[in-house]
Chain A
């Protein structure tokens, strides 16, 4: 597709449930990023991948959060035993990754609501 695609756009779940959020980056982009944005705040970094490997996962808040990118394209963010505090918009971004840094292209986000 032309841009970064995220599914679902909205997810409502109950506390304690397991959730998966999917990100399909721009074709050919080697770097993929996950951010989380709470209401009224700027996005907070969670994790980024260079190819298939997680280059930096220092932003994951705890071990209930995990992300994979098995084939170096699509990525899935997995949240176990969801808590109400996990409610936020989860943003995915990708970049060419060549030479590092540069412009990030963001998806529209997945809004997660934990009841």
Chain B
């Protein structure tokens, strides 16, 4: 079963704009991770944020976590056409790597 819901399901922006994706989940977690997927095949890990962290940065990525609201957001700044992909949040309740994924947000960045 899916743990999380992602919003929006699809997002289309112009190159250079910022993209924000949101994720909500249902149960307590140890950590939350964001992954990117091109062409429906392998996933690539973007960033991990632990339950005692509120914000994390990696390059053009900024992730926030609000455990009281059971939600997270991923911000991609200054988007590029190469950022076009599906983005998934995934929660890890027990710090085992057993991840529960959301439905994903499909991002299209127009050049």
Contact = CB atoms under 8 A, between A and B. Distances in A.
Q: Do A and B bind each other?
A: yes
Nearest to B33: A103
Contacts of B43: 43, 91, 93, 104, 106
Contacts of A4: 42
A42 B88 contact: yes
A25 interface: no
A54 to B, nearest CB: 12
A101 B95 contact: yes
Contacts, number: 77
A45 interface: yes
Interface string A32-63: 01010101111111001000000110000000
Interface stretch (B13-21, B61-69, B72-80, B101-109): B101-109
A42 B97 contact: no
Contacts of B44: 106
Nearest to A42: B101
A106 B92 contact: no
A57 to B, nearest CB: 11
B24 interface: no
Contacts of A107: 42
Top-6 shortest CB links A-B: A42-B101, A101-B95, A100-B95, A108-B42, A106-B43, A103-B45
12 contacts: A33-B97, A43-B43, A44-B101, A48-B97, A55-B96, A89-B41, A93-B43, A100-B94, A100-B97, A101-B92, A103-B48, A106-B43
